[in-house]
Amino acid sequence: MTDKPVPLTREGKAKLEVELEELRMARKAIAERIHNAQELGSSQADAEYEDAKQEQGRTEGRILELEDILRRGTVIDEVSAHHANRVMVGSGVEVEQDGKRHHYRIVGAPEADPAGGKISNESPVGSALLGKSVGDSVDVNVPRGVIKVKILKID
């Protein structure tokens, strides 16, 4: 694992903390499922046991991932981002792309939700916009080719 800082909004950090706590509480229920399946000793219990073990693996993996993200997380100064004259993590950006207007919020990778308008600072569009000002146009390499994005507003 890397020690690279992970930018998080206060809201994003709080959501990750809630998810981590829920997963930690789910550990006990999963352990009980495993224990109960072991006691039954039937072929049906074997399937339940395997299912519970897989769920345990997914849960433990996600717990480790969340702990790492939160350990490396740095809360971004959203107030400064909203008043900056250049795009930074935490900024809202209105852009024109392919003749259409889009609004994105630049967030750290763990909070990215493209369908919700939150794009990662590590994504092609997000990284291309960082440091740019209103009126700037950037060419962005995306999987389907190069797109031109013009910054209309930073909020």
Q: Are residues 63 and 24 in the same domain?
A: yes
In tens, the pLDDT along 116-149 reads 999 999 999 999 999 999 999 999 998 889 999 9
Inside any domain, residue 126:
yes
Q: Taking each helix axis as running N to C, give the angle between helix 43-72 and helix 10-40, from 0 to 180 degrees, rounded to the nearest 10.
A: 160
Domain hosting 41: range is: 6-75
- Give φ, ψ of 19 to 5 degrees: -60, -40
Q: Are residues 53 and 91 in the same domain?
A: no
Among residues 75, 101, 123, the one where a domain terminates is 75
Give the pLDDT score at 83: 78
> For residue 137, which amino acid is it?
S
pLDDT of 61 strictly over 70: yes
**pLDDT tier at 38, thresholds 50, 70, 90:** confident
Structural contact between residues 6 and 74, judged by C-beta atoms closer than 8 angstroms: yes
Q: Count how many domains the chain has.
A: 2
What is the pLDDT, as a whole number, of residue 36? 85
1 domain-assigned: no
* Chain CA centroid to CA 101, Å: 24
The per-residue pLDDT for range 44-53, each reduced to its tens digit, is 667 888 999 9
Same domain, 53 and 112: no
Pair (18, 67) in one structural domain? yes
